[in-house]
Structure 1
Amino acid sequence: MGDTEDPVEQMLKQTGCIDLHYKVQECIAETGDWRKCQNVVKEFKTCMQVYTEKQRQKYE
C-alpha cells in the first residue's frame, strides 16, 4: 500500500467534516460502543447535511 488515500477520507475532506469523522471513530474506539457517541455522531450528520444542502444549491 502506497500513499493512496482512502476515497472516503478524500470525500470527507471536501465536505469539511473530516475532523468530526475522526472524532466519531476515536469515540467508538475509546468506548467500544457507538451509542455512547451519539452527540458526536449527530454533529457529524449535521455537518454532512449542511454540505449536501450547499452542494444541492449550487446546481439549482
Structure 2
Amino acid sequence: MKPGIVGCARLIRRWLPQARCTDTHKALMSEIAQLRKELGFLIDADNFYRKLKILIDVMSWLRSG
C-alpha cells in the first residue's frame, strides 16, 4: 500500500532531521504545509476512516470471540 500525504510527511521528517535545515528541506516542508492546507479535509477523512476500520475490526473480533 502506498503511503498517503501524511505517511510521506512522516517519512520525510524521519529521514531529514530538523537540525539540518537546508534550502531543500525548507522547500519540501513548505510544500507539505501547503498541501496540508489545500487537502486537510482529505487527510482528516482518511484518518477518520482508518480509525473507523480499526473499530469495526475490533468489534468484529469481540463479536466472534
Task: Give the TM-score range, shorter chain.
Answer: 0.3 to 0.5
Where relative contact order (Cα < 8 A, 6+ residues apart) is larger, the structure is: 2
* TM, length-normalised to structure 1: 0.44
Work out which of the two has the higher radius of gyration on C-alpha atoms and give 1 or 2.
2
